[in-house]
Amino acid sequence: MKRTMTALAALAFGFAGAAHAGDVRVMWYSDGVEGEVIQDLLNRFMAENPGINVILDNVAYKVVQEQLPIQLEAGEGPDIARVTNLKAIAQHWLVLTPYLQDAAYWTENFGAQADWMREDGSSAITGFMTQITLTGGFANQTLFEQAGVAMPGAGATWDDWVNASAEVAASQGTAAAFAIDRSGHRISGPNVSYGANYIGADGKPAPVDAGTKEFAAKLVGWVSEGKMLKDTWVAASGSTYRAAADDFINAAIPFYYSGSWQIANLSTKIGDAFDWVAIGSPCGSAGCSGLAGGAAMVAIKYTKNPEEVAKVMEFLAQEDIVREFSERTLFLPAHKAVVAKGGLDWKTDDPNVKAALDMFVTAAGQIEPAAAALPAWKWGSAYYGALVNRISQVMAGELTLDDAYTRIDADIAEQVAQQGG
């Protein structure tokens, strides 16, 4: 059996779990170079464990977000998956604890984020974060310099950044001033920066509040003014994710809001075409918050080979392997000992990268409490999905903002009801 499959072939097989004893199938998506890195590490694992065959299915992020949950509801799926929707579908993750040689190691080094990927009230070990991420912005320094426009400094607001970027766009003839990924997650840090709080006193979703409305109105206004790249949001439907990374890479926009996971992608694809910088998160009236998160490797409870799955997970969770993966992918590690020891040898010659990583480390200290609570909140994905769907409909002229707010609340309530909340 081949050790890799194309996304098309994987779809044809429906991501069924490993069919043979010793097989472990991994569903994987990539933002940058991490697919190559994980394959190299898995090849090393298989050389050391010849009785276990690991099959890496490289798929689009959309497949993980939209098709994996359907497979899981049918009691199917891969044996391991790399996911960002950690909490909402945690009932499908395998409790690894009884299969691990040293559960205390996992609690010590991955415990800070363990609640992000298990059901409320559970103490199960279900996987580990492959990296910690933080939302934030990037600016094309070269375009700003060519336009003779000063980049806004510390404490600059969203309006400051969009207006400055609009000056650059007018001078340099770019498609728009800026873009933000089509993602409810991506706009949630900015929403919190304007005072939003998604979590009600009872722990369930709160109605759309003034903070969310303020930033949503700004987004819609920037689209109507031609400042924000419209196609990123209106050329897709529902909660479908669309990144605007290629637009930034191609210098079609001078300002891009995404997150730390883009660093390797930008470095690889931009090269020396222009200088770029990470700028943290612009400020609102209540703060300058990004939203922490990340991707996790989780074991799927429908696997037929839990012992082999645990061995793969234990290998990848080793301190030296986590350090190597982080250094080669340019991701911020989630492993406590790796973070504490520091001194990561980032595998890059790009001078933009280290400064960008340093900026995200600094920005992590500016996360507001309402944003810090979201990664471990069960209803986060429901909220994000409703936001992106309805706000994009307003941008497309299909709804008014007031209608969108009503429908967002209704969409979220429906999700809660469907899940027995």
CB atoms near residue 396 (< 10 Å): 14
Residue for token pair 């996360």: 367
User: Per-residue pLDDT averaged across 65-89, rounded?
Assistant: 95
Tell me: the pLDDT tens digits for 78-119?
Answer: 999 999 999 989 999 999 999 999 999 999 999 999 999 999
Residues 6+ positions from 103 with CB-CB distance below 8 Å: 97, 125
Going by pLDDT thresholds of 50, 70 and 90, the confidence category of residue 19 is low
Going by pLDDT thresholds of 50, 70 and 90, the confidence category of residue 386 is very high
| Residue 7 in this model has a pLDDT that exceeds 50 | no
CB atoms near residue 351 (< 10 Å): 11
Rounded CA-CA distance 16/11 in Å is 9
pLDDT on residue 13: 40
Side-chain-facing half-sphere of 118: CA atoms under 13 Å: 18
User: Per-residue pLDDT averaged across 63-81, rounded?
Assistant: 96
Residue for token pair 């304007």: 194
Query: Identity (one letter) of the amino acid at 63?
Result: V
Whether the pTM exceeds 0.85: the reply is no
Check the CA dihedral 377-243-362-84 and report its sign.
positive
Residue for token pair 């340099």: 172
| Residue 269 in this model has a pLDDT that exceeds 60 | yes
User: Per-residue pLDDT averaged across 316-332, rounded?
Assistant: 95
Residue for token pair 């000056």: 167
Going by pLDDT thresholds of 50, 70 and 90, the confidence category of residue 342 is confident
Going by pLDDT thresholds of 50, 70 and 90, the confidence category of residue 3 is very low
Residues 6+ positions from 163 with CB-CB distance below 8 Å: none
pLDDT on residue 154: 92
Query: Identity (one letter) of the amino acid at 373?
Result: A
**Percent of the chain whose predicted confidence (pLDDT) is above 90:** 89
User: Per-residue pLDDT averaged across 355-381, rounded?
Assistant: 93
For residues 91 and 12, which has the higher predicted lDDT (pLDDT)? Answer: 91
CB atoms near residue 291 (< 10 Å): 28
pLDDT on residue 22: 80
Going by pLDDT thresholds of 50, 70 and 90, the confidence category of residue 21 is low
Rounded CA-CA distance 261/150 in Å is 26
pLDDT on residue 17: 57
| Residue 184 in this model has a pLDDT that exceeds 90 | yes
* Length reported for the chain: 421
pLDDT on residue 189: 98
pLDDT on residue 2: 31
Residues 6+ positions from 329 with CB-CB distance below 8 Å: 32, 33, 34, 37, 131, 264
Rounded CA-CA distance 165/171 in Å is 10
User: Per-residue pLDDT averaged across 274-296, rounded?
Assistant: 96
Q: Which residues pair with 82 in a beta bridge?
A: 297
DSSP at 14: T
Going by pLDDT thresholds of 50, 70 and 90, the confidence category of residue 8 is very low
Tell which residue, 270, 102, 284, has the closest CA to residue 189: 284
Distances (CA, A) of 93 to 31, 75, 103, 118: 23, 11, 16, 8
User: Per-residue pLDDT averaged across 281-308, rounded?
Assistant: 97
User: Per-residue pLDDT averaged across 262-277, rounded?
Assistant: 95
Angle ∠(395,217,197) on CA atoms, nearest 5: 120
Tell which residue, 370, 232, 233, has the closest CA to residue 291: 370
Tell me: the pLDDT tens digits for 157-166?
Answer: 999 999 999 9
